[in-house]
Structure 1
Amino acid sequence: MPSNKEADLTTAVLLYAMRCLAEGDQQALRAMNFGPKELDALKTMSLADLYRVDTLRVHCLQISLNRDVFWPMLEHLQHQRESEDLQRELLVADAPLEMMQQLFGLSSREYTRWRRLLTLAPAVGRPPELDEADTHRLWYAWQECLTSEDKNTLAAADYLGLQRHTGIGLRSLWALVQRWETYGESVGCIPAERVAENGP
């Protein structure tokens, strides 16, 4: 006999209560209004009893929504979903391992697994060095991003935006921006006109 929604709800809650009992989570059991008699009855329940619940079309539960928990939970799930979507976008755009480790804490094993799931070719070798024109273009785009957002360092979405704006590969882009953030605006990496403005 197929199960029904009432039976599914009761089975899920009874399984949860049995796990709480096994783990000694008395606080959760009290919150569900399980008293000593109910706990004794719960101890005698078998797997066969849970299968028999499928024949019931009623449940013994009072369900209420805790909005103080519900909305933060949904917000957290949305943030997680958006973060995972962004990670996939970055990986498809050939984000290097170091970038994913620093921005998301992704391990090398997770990085490799995701690339396989997304059927991406293995990354080989160092990123190519940018020529002077691309370096200048990236530098200006990087500065504009920092200024417009009033920040000192880029977020993950900013790197994706820079890649789309400049057309420069994420591996080269990441390597150069990290160099600038680490060593500052040295003469070797900023446009010649800025060097002239600052003097020798």
Structure 2
Amino acid sequence: MSSNKEADLTSAVLLYAVRCLAEGDQQALRSMNFGPKELDALQGINLADLYRADALRVHCLKIDLDREVFWPMLAHLRHQRESEELQRTLIVADAPLDMMQQLFGMSSREYTRWRRVLTLAPSVGRPPELDETDTHTLWYAWQERVQACAEAPLAAVDYLGLYHETDIALRCIWALVQRWEAYGEPMAGAGANQVIEHGP
């Protein structure tokens, strides 16, 4: 039995109404204009009736768009989509687990699943220490972003920007920036492990 858009709409709303009835969501039913008689009729609807509705080419509904809900809903969906795209981009760039946990609250299981889905090799071991040139390149790029963010913690897009700007592995960027934020700044002409009280 082939369905059509009218039947799909009717079946979806009737199934929603039946679920509201089963869960005792009277407010939702009233908002859809279901009265006592209609609620009694819903009690007798079964799955076979919903299947038969697939043959209907009419519906009994009045569609009314609530713009006060519609636009915030779309904005929320867009924000979620952009966040998920950013997370995938970071993981492809080999973002470490602790970075994804701190920035997005991602669990280790979800992190592992994404790496598997994206067919990325498992990451093991600590990130390598940077040489003096790369350390200072990252330092100056990081300082520019810190000043632009008015001393606020860097966001995920900032780390991705540092990755593209410096061509330094994201694992190294994360590890070194966390070290700088926690302990201080790198000494001019020294290795990445050394810190002092003032910048170069």
Give the TM-score normalised by structure 1.
Answer: 0.92
Q: Tell me how far apart the structure 2 counterparts of residues 132 and 53 of structure 1 sit (CA, whole Å).
A: 71
Residue 180 of structure 1 aligns to a residue whose secondary structure is helix
What value does the CA root-mean-square deviation take over the aligned residues?
1.9
Q: Which aligned segments of 4 or more residues in structure 1 are displaced greater than 3 angstroms?
A: 195-199
**For residues 125 and 197 of structure 2, what CA distance do their matches in structure 1 show?**
37
Q: Is the 8 A contact 2:99 2:174 kept in 1?
A: yes
Amino acid at match of 1:28: A
What does residue 191 of structure 1 align with? 188
CA pair 196-176 structure 1, distance change in 2 beyond 3 A: closer
Identity among equivalent positions (%) equals 74
* Larger helix fraction of residues: 1
- How far is the alpha carbon of 1:192 from its aligned partner? 4.7
1:104 matched to 2:104? yes
How far apart in 2 are the matches of 1:82 and 1:88? 10
Distance 1:197 1:120, change over 3 A: closer
Q: Report the 3-state secondary structure (helix = DSSP H, G, I; strand = E; otherwise coil) of the residue aligned with 1:123.
A: coil
For 1:139 and 1:55, locate their aligned partners in 2 and report how far apart those are by CA, in whole Å: 67
Code of the aligned partner of 1:41: A
Cα pair distance change 1:196/1:49, threshold 3 Å: closer
Q: Which runs of 5+ in 1 are unaligned?
A: none
Q: CA deviation at 1:150?
A: 2.4
Q: Does 1:87 align with 2:115?
A: no
Cα distance in 2 between the residues matched to 1:162 and 1:48: 58
Tell me the distance in 1 between the aligned counterparts of 2:184 and 2:68: 45
Q: How does 1:130-141 map to 2 (within 5 A)?
A: 130-141=130-141
CA distance in 2, matches of 1:110, 1:5: 36
SS at match of 2:63: coil
Structure 1 equivalent of residue 148 of structure 2: 148
Deviation at 1:95, TM superposition (A): 0.2
Q: Equivalents in 1 of 2:132, 2:196: separation in Å?
A: 16
How many angstroms apart in 1 are the aligned matches of 2:169 and 2:102? 18
Counterpart Cα distance in 2 of 1:143 and 1:110: 32
TM-score (norm 2): 0.92
